[in-house]
Amino acid sequence: MKQLMTLSVACCMAVSLTGVALAGESGAMKMQTGTMGAQASTSALTDAVVKKVDTASGMITINHGELANIGMAPMTMAYKAKDAGMLEAARAGEKVKVRVENVNGALTIVALEKR
């Protein structure tokens, strides 16, 4: 009986400590999405090559390196452009640097700079 009680207390403490650790992680995440997150969105750009610009759909197809911020491996894929200016500026074959983010559920190019 005494061993069962000790085991129960140990399990409760482990669960409590896990909850504290998770709360600490989510607190750190909140800090990153604040002011520092805004700075990271413009500074962490990935090398890419524009493959196609589709003004009718508002999409730009790029062949890009790893997009670490959204956990995406290097590939060629079409992404929504944040604004019409990007669609006008981008040309197939150009080497660019991009930042892709999940904006309201759509993977979106939020920054595009020519290299």
Q: Output the CA–CA distances (angstroms, integers) from residue 105 to 12, 15, 31, 55, 70, in the order listed.
A: 38, 33, 22, 20, 12
Are 56 and 104 contained in the same domain?
yes
Examine residue 37 and state whether it is found in any structural domain, yes or no.
no
How many CB atoms lie under 10 A from the CB of residue 18? 10
Are 52 and 84 contained in the same domain?
yes
Q: In this prediction, what percent of the chain has a pLDDT beyond 90? A: 61
Are 25 and 54 contained in the same domain?
no
Q: Which helix (H) or strand (E) holds 36?
A: helix 35-43
Examine residue 23 and state whether it is found in any structural domain, yes or no.
yes
Residues 6+ apart with CB under 8 A from 107: 70, 77, 79, 80, 100, 101
pLDDT in tens, 68-94: 999 999 999 999 999 999 999 999 999
How many CB atoms lie under 10 A from the CB of residue 77? 15
